[in-house]
Structure 1
Amino acid sequence: MWELLKKYRIHLVTGGIVLLAFLFYSLNLKNREHANLFERFVLNATAPLHGGIAAVNRAVVGVWNDYVALVDVRRENKELRESVKILNGRLLESREALLANERMKKLLDLKNSLPVPALTASVIGEDGAPWFQTLTINRGEADGLQEGMPVVAAEGVVGQVVKVAGNSSRVLLLTDNASSMAGMIQRSRARGVVKGKGSGRCSLEFTLREEDVKVGDTIITSGVGGVFPKGLAVGEVAMVKKGEYGIFQTIEVRPAVNITRLEEVIVLLKQRSD
């Protein structure tokens, strides 16, 4: 018997302590308003553990909430970026439509002021050379176009139709070396021939030395030759030089139309004389 008690003494002592604690706790159930010494000891002993568990729990909950919030923020940011892209696209479309309307209004005002029938066309191609000697427009023989018809824009003269297909045409620009037209100084009425220089510029040739020409003067079509109506803007005098010899001036002309930004034109449907 003694050997058995000695062998299981630890278990018996532990069980006894637990039993005494249970009995002690049971005896104090009636007095719940005040904690006894044992309860205070247990509370004081387990308080740090409970505090640590609560802190860990708060940290885990905080990290999880931050993660969920971050996921939501990322999703919202993605949605906002998509919305911004859509709004920017619509803004660009609206701005482009506004610019197109402004250009078309200018063209229609010019078209209504012209003394001959006219047809609007869009530029669909341009020469690969740096000076853009020719343009391709989306109007052709099916629209009544013929070779030699003048082409203008809201700012002034563009050139002449030189090749006509069924639904497209090629326009020789006034800056091309092969281009020439009758022109005159609007202020002094001095006359000459506007010839292309092949580098985005023109010159007014065959203007006599004694004619009054100054830098900044506007050059317009003179109407001579019957191709272009009189009074269309051609360009502006950029340089005037009178040599010691010769009967003509050297006059450089800056075209009125910026060919590199041209998008729409007007073709004058004046029938060519055969």
Structure 2
Amino acid sequence: MFKLMGNKKLLVLMLAVIVFMVVMGLTVGNRGQLTWPERFVKDTVSWMQGLFYKPARVTADFFDDLRNVRVVYEENKKLKMRLSQYAKDTMRLNDLEAQNKRFKELLGFTERQKQLDNYTYHVAEVISDSPDPYANIVNINLGSKDGMKPDMAVISVDGLLGRVDEVSEFYSSVQLLIDDSANAKGIAATVRGHENDVFGIVNYDREKQTLVMTKIEQTNPIEVGDTIITSGLGEVFPKGIVIGKVTSKEMGEFGITYKANIQPASGFRHLREVLVVEVPAPR
């Protein structure tokens, strides 16, 4: 009985080997079509792969997009920083070029003036304006340690600006010509080319918002277009500094003297650098 059961197991094993060999023979080699078991297995595996592949691909693409967004964000951040730095450098370069141009103009002016007078010109930087909008006072970065004294004339390369008003050790305040306060002083003036024939006093007229030269004798030769300069007679402003040009001439009070409206040669706003005039002491 046990011998019969052993023969059956051997027979089943042999049949299994034979079936396996037959299947191997059918599947091995170049065939134009797959058998239905192979097609079933292939379709099932492909379908299962599709179920997992699409979500995996979407997830992978999502994380790739996140990485790309991060990269773009970092690049934009760096570009913005570079652009901001470039803008700052450009502004600084433009400011330096403008400052260099102004210094060249100041240097050229002082070189030209050496041929006309023996004044000393101190270059000062305007550091602030007066908080009082009606005072017309500016502050400069030169003080008594630099030789500044009250009533020294302050000019630009175009013409007279005003005078030094108050002096501390390191800074000074400058009263501009357009200040008509009680402390403002008139300027003894004349006409270039007629220094010995024309005399008058220049003050600021707030109502007309212009400079006015008064006390001009009727016999004085003064015409529209003439250049008004300091005469040096007032003992405050040295002679020969340009004040402005005559724009109109009319009869003064009581019909005894003339007065002339004057367009200032220099502007009084947005001042950056000025020149303080030092007149050598008489020997």
Question: TM class by shorter-chain length?
Answer: 0.7 to 0.9
Structure 1 position 150, deviation (Å): 1.0
Deviations 1:7-38 (A, max 9, x none): xxxxxxxxxxxxx9xx8799347526443111
1:183 equivalent in structure 2: 189
Structure 1 position 208, deviation (Å): 4.5
Structure 1 position 76, deviation (Å): 0.6
1:31 equivalent in structure 2: 28
Structure 1 position 74, deviation (Å): 0.3
- Helix, strand or coil at the partner of 1:261: coil
CA contact (8 A) 2:238 2:279 kept: no
Task: Give the AA of the match of 1:138.
Answer: N
Structure 2, unpaired ranges of 5+: 1-15
Q: Where do residues 241-256 of structure 1 align in structure 2 (5 Å cutoff)?
A: 241-242=250-251, 246-256=255-265
2:85 equivalent in structure 1: 86
* Rounded Cα–Cα distance in structure 2 between residues aligned with 1:82 and 1:26: 74
1:151 equivalent in structure 2: 154
Q: Comparing 88-97 with 41-50, which one deviates more in the overlay?
A: 41-50
Q: Where do residues 22-171 of structure 1 align in structure 2 (5 Å cutoff)?
A: 27-28=23-24, 31=28, 33-34=30-31, 35-112=34-111, 113-114=113-114, 115=117, 116-171=119-174
2:175 equivalent in structure 1: 172
* Rounded Cα–Cα distance in structure 1 between residues aligned with 2:193 and 2:58: 86
Across the aligned residues of Structure 1 and Structure 2, the Cα RMSD in angstroms comes to 3.1
Task: Give the AA of the match of 1:165.
Answer: S
Report how many residues are paired: 251
CA contact (8 A) 2:251 2:257 kept: yes
With the length of structure 1 as denominator, give the TM-score of the two structures.
0.77
Structure 1, unpaired ranges of 5+: 1-19
Task: Give the AA of the match of 2:185.
Answer: S
Deviations 1:202-248 (A, max 9, x none): 2122234675433x654333344354344432124455444796133
* Rounded Cα–Cα distance in structure 2 between residues aligned with 1:156 and 1:140: 22
Task: Give the AA of the match of 1:205.
Answer: T
Deviations 1:139-185 (A, max 9, x none): 12212222221111112111112222222222221112213212344
Structure 1 position 271, deviation (Å): 4.7
| Mapped pair 1:195 → 2:203 | yes
CA contact (8 A) 2:214 2:252 kept: no
With the length of structure 2 as denominator, give the TM-score of the two structures.
0.75
For the structure 1 residues 80 and 25, does the alpha-carbon distance in structure 2 shift closer, same or farther, using more than 3 Å as the test? farther
- Helix, strand or coil at the partner of 1:68: helix
Question: How high is the sequence identity, in percent, across the aligned residues?
Answer: 27
